[in-house]
Amino acid sequence: MNKKVKCIDLGLMDYKQAWDYQQSLFDEIVDIKKENRKSNSNVSTPNYLLFVEHPHVYTLGKSGDISNLLINENELIDKKATFYKINRGGDITYHGPGQVVCYPILDLENFFTDIHKYLRFLEEVIILSLKNYQILGERNEGKTGVWLDTKTPFPRKICAMGVRASRWVTMHGYALNVNVDLNYFNNIIPCGLANNIVTSISNEKENKNIDIKKTKEILKKNFREVFQAEII
């Protein structure tokens, strides 16, 4: 099993461009696995961890409801935002500047073959990372992602997740709100959940500007520890 994970920071990148890049890495891993099975060989499969920020964009998962997008095409243009239907799980979400988006492109056969465990591990990475900001992240029973104050009438979501997996190879991932403009979430019903309150690290720290580069380093460290991976 190859637990080496190559970390690549894509900076600010158009959503479709990053999606195509994800797909190319995903296809590379799947092709190796197909060839291994075909030729009865054992070529090691690579793993990748992509960090990126996107310009304003709304994405709808394959099981999502388009009615959860509350603005029309002209309003999208006015807000300098784009919209894509994509092949991950989950409903609608927003990505934008000030948000750390992470796409692990992993061969889970290098780690474990359990999608639910994989999602819980991603959540654990976020929960551990939030502790660095004295923020108590929590799981919300029956819902994917990381939340705050789940035992109150108004839990707040700080990190959304949606993944795709085929042949135990993953793509898509999570979006952690750091310094993101939360007003953009008013244009959707986030994750298809009405009255879903969205927050960010900055918002929880009284609008203090957070060093995103440092946040990525914290996330990378906790990914390494949770997944017992070697980051290269």
- Are 66 and 72 in contact by the 8 Å Cβ rule? The answer is no
pLDDT tens for the 232 residues of the chain, in order:
899 999 999 999 999 999 999 999 999 999 999 999 989 888 999 999 999 999 999 988 877 888 888 888 888 888 889 998 888 877 888 999 999 999 999 999 999 999 999 999 999 999 999 999 999 999 998 888 999 999 998 899 999 999 999 999 999 999 999 999 999 988 887 665 555 689 999 999 988 899 999 999 999 999 999 999 999 9
The Cα–Cα gap between 110 and 123 comes to 19
- Cα-to-chain-centroid distance, residue 145: 9
Which residues are annotated as catalytic?
191
- Angle at Cα 97 formed by Cα 160 and Cα 212, nearest 5°? 80
**Tokens encoding 68:** 């959860």
Does residue 28 lie within any of the structural domains?
A: yes
Give the CATH number for residue 26.
3.30.930.10
Range of the domain at 164: 4-54+95-231
Does residue 65 lie within any of the structural domains?
A: no
Does residue 63 lie within any of the structural domains?
A: no
Q: Model-level pTM greater than 0.85? A: yes
Does residue 77 lie within any of the structural domains?
A: no
Does residue 196 lie within any of the structural domains?
A: yes
Does residue 81 lie within any of the structural domains?
A: no
Does residue 20 lie within any of the structural domains?
A: yes
**Tokens encoding 111:** 């780690």
The Cα–Cα gap between 130 and 203 comes to 13
- Cα-to-chain-centroid distance, residue 231: 18
The Cα–Cα gap between 71 and 57 comes to 12
Does residue 198 lie within any of the structural domains?
A: yes
The Cα–Cα gap between 219 and 141 comes to 23
How many domains is the chain built from?
1
